[in-house]
Amino acid sequence: MGKSLSEIIISQHCQRDVKAGEIVLTPVDVCLLQDGTAPLAIRQLEKLGLKKLANPSRTVFFLDHAAPSPRRELSNDHKFIRDFVAQTGAQFSDIGGGISHQVINEYYVNPGDILIGADSHTCTGGALCAFSTGMGSSDVAVAMGLGKTWLRVPESFKIVVRGEFPLGVYAKDLILHFIGKIGADGATYKALEFCGETVENMTMSQRLTLSNMAVEAGAKVGLIAADKTTQKFLKEMGRGNKYREIKPEKDAVYERSIEIDVSRLEPQISFPHTVDNTRPLSQAQGVKIQQVFLGTCTNARLEDLKIFYEIVKGKKKNSSTRVIVTPASRKVYLDAMKSGYIQAFMEFGAEVLPSGCGPCVGVHGGVGADEDNILSTMNRNFRGRMGNPESNIYLASPAVCAATAIKGEIADPREFLTVKKGSSAKSSKKSSKQKKKK
Amino acid sequence: MTPKGSAWKFGDNISTDLIAPGRYFHLRSNLPEMAKHVMEDADPSFASKVNKGDFIVGGSNFGLGSSREHAPTIIKLAGVSAVLAKSFARIFYRNSINVGLPVLICDTDKIQTGDELEIDLVKGIILDRIRNLKLTFAPLPKVMINILNDGGLVAHIQKHGDFKLS
Ligand code: SF4
């Protein structure tokens, strides 16, 4: 019996063959903590009496949730984290550095790693074929102190994606559609493995969007095989030497296999207040939107900003809609400035905030009013998520957000895209690849 | 351990945003203060009504969302002795055990707010005195029983120096 990606990675760490269902102790390669979860983790570590970190060069602290700090209590938490980092030699990304899940994958995570993060969207690292999963502060405290954790080796679902994305339809629409189909608890405790020609043709940016949302189906991890695209990404990020090919064994066992054809997929919208409350765009048009938010670890990479830019450049936002943009990381922010996107966003009428989580977590920088409808590129739309339980959050792709920012109500981006230019480099590159195959 | 108390019933998909709202993010280093807002966005008066020993009873997918361990911690600080649900989100479930809060998977459909419950954690039985119900709950993996019995993950590691899987 062959191994799934999860079984391969965990077996390598345990130095024996492990199978789904087993409970194992495993070494941990990378630990991630953010300003919301780190203070508790540090206190737990202190209670444990552990003064040293098992692996300071790969234990990374991020100030991204409340950055820059909007309150005294949070400033003191930030100081507490900075002091701990200075004492232990841990890695550190200060305010403005970006969202943990973006930066950790830009600089720290390699294929085949086990990454444990005190943040639920740690599963984003699955896009690099790292076994990446979210845990609480205590678990991560033990992992950074002892360098290990316990895991139940998950059963895997194989998600086979075929077909070419139609114009105006992206990885975000695919994952919203998938979660709508399987349900917010449809994959609880399971590992997702995304594969098939559509995933193979995806850029790393889109793969990160897919893996990021695995947890919204309840999954432990959302893995994608490490291939040429992974290699190219690592090279661009200056660590091509860390690449190794990882793919599931041929006769790997999957608990479920789900096929999705994207060639007829419409843009998707998740309605309030659960991510699986998904409907095709045609059933959502006309919903008035008071705030559009382009940001978060799901969809604020350069490619996402470019999609938004191509639709809004030279236009003016709707006067009754506020538009907020937070680039995913400082690198993304700088690249977007060089490309002219930031200038265009501001001319369009958007507010560009520092890179970080921004309004996503309901602390600052864009809390909605009572009864506001917010359309966001985020990964979750739970009641109260953005700081006000009386506002409504809808989820969509950057393209739908762009069209909506122009019209003031949920709108179809395809109206603003043409087949030739359209979703540009990405879709034309894909089609030429597919032509070659034929 | 046989905790007794009243049930507080909630629906499906109770997220960590409802349990520990993000607008109290600044209280994460002041958990007793944050506990005054526990479950606030699911039931604004819950924190003032709940008595020591009571139970939170959910539907399916209880605790979905973020990894904030503050969520089960403030449930425990509010005096709740266990959370019962048809199913739990993975991180919340693991966090609850780590902070020493029993989380029990059972069929909660018939339990209503105000029911008097009695739970035998060793035998795995839940009694609803009002509705004359006897429910069983799924056993935990051994490593989680060990952590829970030791009073949470920190105490567990302090005691054994490592995880005790069996
Ligand atoms: S952007 Fe939102 S979902 Fe992502 S890590 Fe930050 S708060 Fe969490």
**Could you read off the pLDDT of A229-249 as tens digits, one per residue?**
999 999 999 999 999 999 999
A288 and A254 fall within a common domain: no
Q: Stretch A309-315: mean pLDDT, rounded? A: 98
| Ligand 1 closest atom vs CA A34 | 5
Q: How confident is the model at residue B150 (pLDDT cuts 50, 70, 90)?
A: very high
Contact in structure between B116 and B130 (CB atoms under 8 Å): yes
Q: Give the pLDDT score at B122.
A: 84
Per-residue burial over A354-385, b = 16 or more CB atoms within 10 Å of its CB, e = otherwise: bbbbbbbbbbbbbbbeeebbbbbbbbbbbbbb
Q: Give the pLDDT score at A420.
A: 54
Evaluate whether residue A266 is within a structural domain: no
- Structure tokens, A388: 């006000």
Using one digit for the tens of pLDDT, what is the confidence trace for A322-354?
999 999 999 999 999 999 999 999 999 999 999
Q: How many CB atoms lie within 10 A of CB A70?
A: 14
Instruction: Provide the CATH number for the domain around residue A313.
Output: 3.30.499.10
Q: How confident is the model at residue A431 (pLDDT cuts 50, 70, 90)?
A: very low
Q: How confident is the model at residue A433 (pLDDT cuts 50, 70, 90)?
A: very low
Q: How confident is the model at residue A430 (pLDDT cuts 50, 70, 90)?
A: very low
Using one digit for the tens of pLDDT, what is the confidence trace for A183-203?
999 999 999 999 999 999 999
A241 and A283 fall within a common domain: no
Specify the residue for token string 């200075």: A86
Length of chain A equals 438
Instruction: Tell me the nearest-neighbour CA distance from B101 into chain A, angstroms.
Output: 14
Pairing state of beta strands A59-62 and A91-93?
parallel
How much is the mean pLDDT over chain B? 96
Contact in structure between A124 and A211 (CB atoms under 8 Å): yes
Of A73, A135, A389, the CB nearest to B67: A135
Q: How confident is the model at residue B105 (pLDDT cuts 50, 70, 90)?
A: very high
A209 and A285 fall within a common domain: no
pLDDT above 80 for A423: no
| Ligand 1 closest atom vs CA A361 | 7
Percent with pLDDT over 90 in chain A? 94
| A385 contacts B27? CB cut-off 8 A | no
Evaluate whether residue A31 is within a structural domain: yes
Angle at A208 between CA A207 and CA A213, to 5 degrees: 105
- Structure tokens, B128: 């609803």
| B15 contacts A37? CB cut-off 8 A | no
Evaluate whether residue B84 is within a structural domain: yes
Dihedrals φ, ψ of B62, to 5°? Answer: -70, 135
Q: How far is CA B85 from the centre of its chain?
A: 9
- Quote the ligand 1 centre to A65 CA distance (angstroms): 7
DSSP H or E run through A120: none
Contact in structure between A401 and B36 (CB atoms under 8 Å): no
Per DSSP, the three-state class of B142 is helix
Q: Give the pLDDT score at A138.
A: 98
Contacts of A372 (CB under 8 A, 6+ apart): A290, A291, A388, A391, A392
Q: How confident is the model at residue A436 (pLDDT cuts 50, 70, 90)?
A: very low
The domain tally of chain B equals 1
Q: Give the pLDDT score at A24.
A: 98
For the Cβ of A13 lying below 6 angstroms from any atom of ligand 1, the answer is no
- Quote the ligand 1 centre to A361 CA distance (angstroms): 7
From A181, A12, A185, select the one nearest A4 (Cα to Cα).
A12
- Beta-carbon pairs below 8 A across chains A and B: 148
- Rounded-to-integer distance, Cα A429 and Cα A309, Å: 19
Q: Give the pLDDT score at A122.
A: 98
Per DSSP, the three-state class of A353 is coil
Pairing state of beta strands A30-34 and A59-62?
parallel
Using one digit for the tens of pLDDT, what is the confidence trace for A155-171?
999 999 999 999 999 99
Q: What radius of gyration do chain A's Cα atoms show?
A: 21
Q: Stretch A95-114: mean pLDDT, rounded? A: 98
Q: Stretch B126-130: mean pLDDT, rounded? A: 95
Q: Give the pLDDT score at A1.
A: 85
Q: Give the pLDDT score at B138.
A: 84
A304 and A347 fall within a common domain: yes
- Structure tokens, A383: 């009641």
Dihedrals φ, ψ of A398, to 5°? Answer: -60, -35
Contact in structure between B65 and B35 (CB atoms under 8 Å): no
Give the domain extent around A398. Answer: 274-415
Percent with pLDDT over 70 in chain A? 95
Tell me the residue type at A273: H
Q: Is the whole-model pTM more than 0.90?
A: yes
Instruction: Provide the CATH number for the domain around residue B111.
Output: 3.20.19.10
Evaluate whether residue B166 is within a structural domain: no
Q: How confident is the model at residue A102 (pLDDT cuts 50, 70, 90)?
A: very high
Using one digit for the tens of pLDDT, what is the confidence trace for A363-397?
999 999 999 999 999 999 999 999 999 999 999 99
Evaluate whether residue A114 is within a structural domain: yes
- Rounded-to-integer distance, Cα A310 and Cα B95, Å: 43
Of A261, A296, A320, the position where a domain reaches its end is A261
pLDDT above 90 for A77: yes
B69 touches A: beta carbon within 8 Å: yes
Contact in structure between A64 and A34 (CB atoms under 8 Å): yes
Cα torsion for B52, B53, B59, B63, to the nearest 10°?
60
Sheet holding A256-261, edge to edge: A221-224, A191-195, A156-162, A256-261
A231 and A86 fall within a common domain: yes
From A159, A130, A141, A2, select the one nearest A61 (Cα to Cα).
A141
Q: Give the pLDDT score at A71.
A: 95
Q: Give the pLDDT score at A425.
A: 42
Contact in structure between B163 and A135 (CB atoms under 8 Å): no
Per DSSP, the three-state class of B80 is coil
Q: How confident is the model at residue A429 (pLDDT cuts 50, 70, 90)?
A: very low
Pairing state of beta strands A373-376 and A191-195?
unpaired
A59 and A134 fall within a common domain: yes
Q: With the C-alpha atoms ordered A132, A138, A139, A145, is the resulting torsion angle positive or negative?
A: positive
Q: Give the pLDDT score at B123.
A: 87
Evaluate whether residue B39 is within a structural domain: yes
pLDDT above 50 for A282: yes
Q: What radius of gyration do chain B's Cα atoms show?
A: 15
DSSP A32-80: EEETTTHHHHHHHHHHHT--S-S-GGGEEEE--TT-S--SHHHHHHHHH
For the Cβ of A216 lying below 6 angstroms from any atom of ligand 1, the answer is no
DSSP H or E run through A121: none
Q: Give the pLDDT score at A435.
A: 42
Q: Stretch B40-65: mean pLDDT, rounded? A: 97
A207 and A139 fall within a common domain: yes
A293 and A154 fall within a common domain: no
A362 and A316 fall within a common domain: yes
Of B65, B95, B158, the CB nearest to A382: B65
Evaluate whether residue A254 is within a structural domain: yes
For residue A415, the 8-state DSSP code is: G
The domain tally of chain A equals 2
Give the domain extent around B67. Answer: 4-139
For residue A164, the 8-state DSSP code is: P
Q: How confident is the model at residue A272 (pLDDT cuts 50, 70, 90)?
A: very high
Contact in structure between A98 and A68 (CB atoms under 8 Å): no
DSSP H or E run through B150: helix B142-150
